[in-house]
Amino acid sequence: MHVIFPIAHGRQATLLAYHVSASTGTALDLDPVSNDQDHVSDHGGAPGWRGIKVVHAPKSGKTRGSKPHDVVKEVIILRKISHPNVVRLLGYEYDEQRIEHRLFLPLYITTLSDLLADPSFPFPERPESGTKDDASDQLDQSAVVIPTILTYQLLSAISYLHALDPPIAHRDINPSNVMFDIHGDLKLVDFGTAWVKDNRFKQNESSPAGGDGTLGVGGDGMDMRGWNDKEDEWEETYGDMCCDVGTGPYRAPELLFSPTEYDPLALDLWSTGVIMSQLFRPFTVTSTSMSPYRDGMAPEEDDEDEYDPLDHNRDQPPPGSSQARQSGKRQPLFDDTFGSLGLAASVFKVLGTPTKENWPDFDNLPDAGKIEFPTTSPVELSSLLPERDHMGLLAPHILQLIEGLLVLDPRRRIPARQALESPWFDVLRDSRGSGELIFKYRHLMRSWIEQGIRRYERLAERSREE
């Protein structure tokens, strides 16, 4: 018996989870990936599970209302790249009858967005009182492990993408697109709006073109034949780039003023800086937001009505429950509650309004002169990141790195490869220190990973009963 159900819905796609029955050990008929290819050690997905990203679009992968979403380009990108912190594509197929693209993916356990709703994340164990003598000793404390490894893995993924020939810009880095596998390792997902400026990522009418020239049918069962450029209903080119990319408070400020030309790599750097800063923001408790975890407690240890964040039939935690009383999240540094203009005002309130000194090209943006923002000076970023104090002697390096990414002028944001050279990550450049830190990181992440697996198991059981 097979169990399949939706776990996420977006404007352009639906993500399904399916579980292969342990009794039969067989895969769904629609799955082009054979069981012998599905090794958890290879891709880190939940054992016995797979995710299916379903996109309704013509064979070209494009529709007029979907710009810049392009599922075919996403498949080509995922087919060409390989990195331990980037999602792995297991298979792909196009259903002409359903007009449906299906991407077969590992089913990762949880998202960073989920974890940021847990007040104990990313500091499951608080640092001891007192000051250590050096940054290396400071890393022996559990409080610094998760932010250090998580940030390094995210920057590693971005550095890899940006160093490719041609470079790839993700353009939608946000906590929902940062996932964690069964080991707790970070995976960057969803390349539906990625940008690649190179003809090698186009296909001619007879055969898909690729770096190895073999993107027609790959060893993973992907059938890419039949994509005809003539079917494309739109084309995104430099000079006609889409600025409606990114998610909410993680969008770079240049996108808010209708540019048709911009540096897509700089968008990723900004979004990464916002995510990094969010790790050190205070946890804000609300009575209405949903938290998938309750003070790190495993679901079966809760004696109240069990709350499941993947239960689409329940809109909020049970009234009066501990989940409702204690739910909330670490808020991002910027606020998009009032749309693009509100987000711009929020950014300028923190970093100061644009000037010839801090953003020389701001006035060249199409909508730069449509509204006059109150003149403000930048605030001390450290005052907005109180949880950074848990990082001890590493705190100054963390602040320096975040300040290097959250720069108004896109040209002045430090590249990901340079960010990886921060003294914050010195311990990871030592093989022994790196191994010990990763071991501790995976141990600390285990409780969240186990909770995630149990959630899927409960949903599978519920689906069988229905």
Q: Specify whether 283 is located in the same domain as 357.
A: yes
Question: 5: number of CA atoms within 13 Å, CB side?
Answer: 18
Q: Of 130 and 197, which is predicted with more confidence?
A: 197
Q: Specify whether 74 is located in the same domain as 153.
A: no
CA-to-CA distance for 157 and 178, rounded, in angstroms? 11
Strands of 1-40, DSSP E: 3-9, 14-19
Q: Specify whether 134 is located in the same domain as 22.
A: no
Host domain of residue 75: 1-107+201-234
The pTM is what? 0.83
pLDDT of residue 313: 37
pLDDT of residue 47: 86
To 10 degrees, the CA torsion angle through 180, 182, 184, 186?
A: -30
Cβ neighbourhood burial of 40 (10 Å; 0-12, 13-18, 19+):
middle
pLDDT of residue 433: 78
Cβ within 8 Å of residue 430, ≥6 positions away: none
Q: Specify whether 83 is located in the same domain as 143.
A: no
Structure tokens at 283: 């946890």
Q: Specify whether 7 is located in the same domain as 137.
A: no
The owner of tokens 């379903």 is 54
Structure tokens at 268: 């990723």
* Least confident among 173-187, 224-238, 342-356, 418-432: 224-238
Please name the residue ranges forming H helices in 301-430.
322-326, 339-351, 395-405, 416-419
Q: Specify whether 303 is located in the same domain as 227.
A: no
* Least confident among 140-149, 254-263, 388-397, 446-455: 140-149
Q: Are 290 and 443 in contact (CB under 8 A)?
A: no
Q: Per the structure, how many domains does the chain have?
A: 2
Residue ending a domain, choose from 234, 257, 286: 234
CA-to-CA distance for 233 and 230, rounded, in angstroms? 8
pLDDT of residue 126: 57
CA-to-CA distance for 7 and 107, rounded, in angstroms? 11
CA-to-CA distance for 256 and 368, rounded, in angstroms? 9
Give the H/E segment covering residue 330: strand 328-330
Q: Are 360 and 328 in contact (CB under 8 A)?
A: no
201-257 pLDDT, tens per residue?
554 333 333 333 333 333 344 444 444 445 456 789 888 999 999 999 999 999 999
Q: Specify whether 221 is located in the same domain as 259.
A: no
* Least confident among 176-190, 197-211, 356-370: 197-211
Which band of pLDDT confidence, cut at 50, 70 and 90, is reported for residue 141?
A: low
Q: Say which amino acid occupies 432.
A: R
Q: Specify whether 193 is located in the same domain as 135.
A: yes
pLDDT of residue 234: 77
Q: Specify whether 361 is located in the same domain as 457.
A: yes
The whole-chain average pLDDT of the chain stands at 81
Structure tokens at 428: 């990871």
For 412-426, b/e burial (b = at least 16 CB within 10 A) is ebbbbeebbebebbe
Q: Specify whether 173 is located in the same domain as 312.
A: yes
286-343 pLDDT, tens per residue?
754 444 433 333 333 343 344 343 333 334 343 333 443 357 899 999 999 999 999 9
Which band of pLDDT confidence, cut at 50, 70 and 90, is reported for residue 134?
A: low
151-180 pLDDT, tens per residue?
999 999 999 999 999 999 999 999 999 999
432-454 pLDDT, tens per residue?
778 889 999 999 999 999 999 99
Crossing angle for the helix pair 264-278 and 395-405, nearest 10 degrees? 150
Cβ within 8 Å of residue 461, ≥6 positions away: none
Cβ-based neighbour number of residue 167 at 10 Å: 15
pLDDT of residue 201: 57
Q: Are 166 and 198 in contact (CB under 8 A)?
A: yes
Which band of pLDDT confidence, cut at 50, 70 and 90, is reported for residue 111?
A: very high
Q: What are phi and psi of 48, to 5 degrees?
A: 80, 5
pLDDT value at 67 more than 70: yes
Q: Specify whether 51 is located in the same domain as 114.
A: no
Structure tokens at 392: 């001890």
pLDDT of residue 197: 79
Q: What is the mean pLDDT of residues 363-372?
A: 94
pLDDT of residue 322: 43
2-44 pLDDT, tens per residue?
678 888 887 788 999 988 654 444 444 455 554 444 555 467 8
- Helix, strand, coil share of the chain (percent; to 5): 40, 10, 50
pLDDT of residue 204: 37
CA-to-CA distance for 144 and 389, rounded, in angstroms? 10
Q: Specify whether 214 is located in the same domain as 251.
A: no
Residue ending a domain, choose from 186, 214, 234: 234
Q: Are 315 and 354 in contact (CB under 8 A)?
A: no
Q: What are phi and psi of 185, to 5 degrees?
A: -80, 145
Q: Are 143 and 5 in contact (CB under 8 A)?
A: no
The CATH code of the domain that includes 14 is 3.30.200.20
Cβ within 8 Å of residue 308, ≥6 positions away: 299, 314, 455, 458, 459
pLDDT of residue 228: 44
For 76-86, b/e burial (b = at least 16 CB within 10 A) is bbbbbbebebb
The CATH code of the domain that includes 439 is 1.10.510.10
What residues does 294 pair with on adjacent strands?
297
